[in-house]
Each structure stands twice: as structure tokens, then as C-alpha cells.
Amino acid sequence: MSKIGQRQINIPDSVKLVKEDRILKVTGPKGELSLELPSRISFKQEEGLLQVSRSGNDRHAKAFHGLFRKLIANMVEGVSVGFTKKLDFKGVGFRAEVQGDKLILNVGFSHQVEYPIREGIEVKVEKNVISVSGIDRQKVGQVAAEIRAIKPVEPYKGKGIKYVDEIPRRKPGKAAKAAIGGAK
């Protein structure tokens, strides 16, 4: 039995779940999300708790059990609290700003990079930290990964865009290698 699938989901009072055919709609103070459930997955809601169950014991049903329980839990958390990813950028002359529905990045290229902000995603820039937030966990993570991919951290000086809690791999330069290994 899936250990993740067995866990119950706590549903806050401000969140409402509505099932129409195979579509589950989750509504909360931050917005509304919907998800199409496969025929093998069902759920029971009682007294602020939600239990996800499966109809069969085959491999696909077991995999869907844990997956859809986590997707529903993410939807509940998203519409009640929301998700945020923070990116840090470092480098001489590196700047970022939000203009309308675009994120403008000056990150060492000969031109500015304009990243269009998707609908349902909010981007803020404070000093050298870019905050990406929204109610859909997958979209927030995807936007943060795409912004990071514009200028990943290089290993010698540490310049580039990284997640706040990320520790990039650093390499010694040529001078450090020559001092350690001696001249050849």
C-alpha cells in the first residue's frame, strides 16, 4: 500500500472541494484549481479530512494513488496558502526589474533578457532576490527553473542566478591549481 496515498489531507475551513464527474475543483481564498481524476482513484471527505483511495492493486493504480493524493494536497495548500520560490542573483552590474507582465534581466549579456510572466504567477524583485509565487506548485517551480536557466551559476566566480537555498559547486581557478600542483 502506498504510504503517501494512505495519509489523510487536512482541509481548512476556507477551502471547498467539489467533484463533478471525474473533475475535482478546489476553491479557496487565493483562487481555484481543478484536476481530472482517473477512474481508479476516488476520495472520501468527512469533517475536514480527505482520504484518497484506489480501486485496484495493480502497479498503475498504486502509482496513481500516491501521485493524485499529493496533487490534491498541493492544490489544497495552493488555494489556501500559496507557493513561493526565491532566486538569488549575483554578479557585477546584474539587475532585475518587473515591467508590466515582463521580467527584465541584465545578467552580463550584450542585451537585456525579457522573460514574459505567465498568468497566475506573481514575480517580485527586492534587491538581489527574485520571488516567484502563485497557487499552482508546478507552474511556480517551472517559472523559477526557466528564470534560473537564463544565467546559471558558473563554478569559478559564482556569478549567475541560483535558488536561495542552493549551494553551487565551486572550482579553483588556474592560479590555485598551479600553486597546489606546482608548475609543469
Task: Say if residue 183's pLDDT is above 60.
Answer: no
The mean pLDDT of the chain is 91
Q: CA separation (Å) from 58 to 54, 61, 101?
A: 10, 5, 46
Q: What is the pLDDT of residues 101-144, one digit of tens each?
A: 999 999 999 999 999 999 999 999 999 999 999 999 999 999 99
CA 91 to chain centre: 24
Delineate the domains of the chain, giving CATH numbers in brackets. 3-80 (3.90.930.12), 83-163 (3.90.930.12)
